[in-house]
Amino acid sequence: MHRASRFLLVASLTFATLFARAAEVQVAVAANFAPVLSRIGAGFSAATGHTLKLSAGATGKFYSQILAGAPFDVLLAADEETPRKLVAAGLAVAGSNFTYAIGRLVLWSAQPGFVDDQGAVLASGRFAHLAIANPKLAPYGAAGLEVLKARGLAQALAPKIVTAESIAQAFQFVATGNAELGFVALSQVAVPGQPATGSYWLVPSNLYGPIRQDAVLLKTGEKNPAAAALLAYLKSAAAKDVIQSFGYRL
């Protein structure tokens, strides 16, 4: 066989073998982290040949869906408690959970100059609606309520709170003007490579409990090589660089 033909045959067989092993991983991802994972996904696919199929939403809602048998392979939660509960329930692989990011909360307005750098606008009375993700489903929503309690404003602002299903919906309420203010994730308003819009207060971490976001391998994904590969890739330097670029701590 001609040398060039042999090379092409070997290359074709290698390519076919790689993609015969490639798989898809079904990921349930907390809404705040979905844009980050989308960006990480390109590097993951290039490095492994595997592909991601993302479903973004509130962590609490995913917990209920997984209990009901939803066929996700991996959960990237917005807290550390939910993965632990899934391990305890026998629905996730023991020892597979780890913290992939620590979230940071901001008070955001789509209006430039509306939010000051101390969050004093909360006590100003200059707004009619404050968007917060459902604290029973979304850890960032729970963190927002903690901030109001720490500032002694929970009772006074209760009539102004607009409850969103997820942190993504809370962001949409503010972006569309349905709420002048909202508690959202820093990653949603400080997207790398894009100019920041509106104004925000980066809430001091001593006003709310740490938002440790944990990943876990679900039992339905235990035999999926793409699921294990994704969890390993999240610990890589390339993935960590992307995570930090969106404002998360590690």
User: Do 16 and 8 form a contact (C-beta atoms < 8 A)?
Assistant: no
Q: Which two tokens stand for residue 122?
A: 């909360």
207 within some domain: no
Residue numbers of the chain with a pLDDT score lower than 70: 1-21
pLDDT at position 3 is 47
pLDDT at position 245 is 95
81 within some domain: yes
User: Do 185 and 104 form a contact (C-beta atoms < 8 A)?
Assistant: yes
What does the pLDDT look like over 107-144, one tens digit per residue?
Answer: 999 999 999 999 999 999 899 999 999 999 889 999 99
Task: Say which CATH number the domain at 50 has.
Answer: 3.40.190.10
Same domain? For 194 and 181 the reply is yes
pLDDT at position 21 is 67
138 within some domain: yes
pLDDT at position 144 is 97
Taking alpha carbons only, the member of 197, 137, 196, 145 closest to residue 167 is 137
Q: Which domain holds residue 167?
A: 105-202
- Predicted TM-score (pTM) of the model is 0.82
How many domains, in total, are found in the chain? Answer: 2
Same domain? For 71 and 93 the reply is yes
Same domain? For 97 and 9 the reply is yes
Bridge partners (DSSP) of residue 26 are 53
